[in-house]
């Protein structure tokens, strides 16, 4: 397989999305997998840093709403809820948020099995194949 150029990587449309029926809300919603930057911001929002600069504890407040809010988009693929509006989303049915959160996690590669699958599918690097040493 040929190596990609910077322009080819930048032009690739690699974010997955899925429309999900939510009968409790009377219709369907669209979830778009997070970009790397969005995923990092989401993960950072769950960690409370101590005064020594080390992680002190996890902040699970509105964790599902934060996840779903970062992925919930309209037909134009623009987010429906900003980070400041997450509490509004968090007031919705927890079972619905859990269901949507599972889809958002899968689309964003947050599940443990997604990471393991990605690791297993990568091609060996030259140093992995090298017998010199």
- Whether 83 is in a domain gets the answer yes
- Whether 92 is in a domain gets the answer yes
- Whether 61 is in a domain gets the answer yes
Q: What is the pLDDT of residue 53?
A: 82
The DSSP line for 13-70 is ----EEEEEEGGGTEEEEEEPPPHHHHHHHHHHTEEEPTTSSEEEE--TTHHHHHHHH
> Looking at residue 88, which CATH number applies to its domain?
3.30.2220.20
- Whether 102 is in a domain gets the answer yes
Q: What is the pLDDT of residue 121?
A: 54
Q: What is the pLDDT of residue 130?
A: 45
Q: Which two tokens stand for residue 26?
A: 């009377």
- Whether 107 is in a domain gets the answer yes
Q: What is the pLDDT of residue 117?
A: 56
- Whether 48 is in a domain gets the answer yes
- The whole-number mean pLDDT for each consecutive block of 10 residues of the chain, a chain of 133 residues, reads 94 95 98 95 89 84 93 97 94 97 96 60 48 46
Other Cβ atoms closer than 10 A to 80: 14
- Whether 70 is in a domain gets the answer yes
What is the span of the domain harbouring residue 34?
17-115
The sign of the dihedral angle between the CA atoms of 73, 21, 104, 11 is negative
Q: What is the pLDDT of residue 42?
A: 92
Q: What is the pLDDT of residue 124?
A: 47
- Whether 6 is in a domain gets the answer no
Total count of domains within the chain: 1
Q: What is the pLDDT of residue 127?
A: 46
């Amino acid at each position: 397989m040929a190596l990609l150029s910077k322009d080819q990587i930048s032009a690739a449309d690699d974010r997955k999305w899925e429309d999900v029926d939510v009968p409790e809300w009377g219709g369907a919603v669209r979830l778009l997998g997070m970009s790397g930057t969005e995923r990092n911001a989401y993960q950072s929002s769950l960690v409370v840093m101590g005064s020594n600069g080390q992680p002190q504890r996890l902040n699970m407040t509105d964790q599902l709403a934060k996840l779903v809010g970062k992925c919930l988009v309209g037909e134009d693929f623009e987010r429906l809820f900003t980070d400041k509006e997450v509490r509004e989303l968090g007031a919705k049915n927890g079972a619905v948020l859990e269901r949507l959160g599972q889809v958002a996690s899968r689309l964003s590669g947050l599940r443990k099995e997604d990471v393991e699958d990605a690791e297993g599918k990568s091609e060996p690097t030259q140093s992995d194949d090298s017998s010199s040493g």
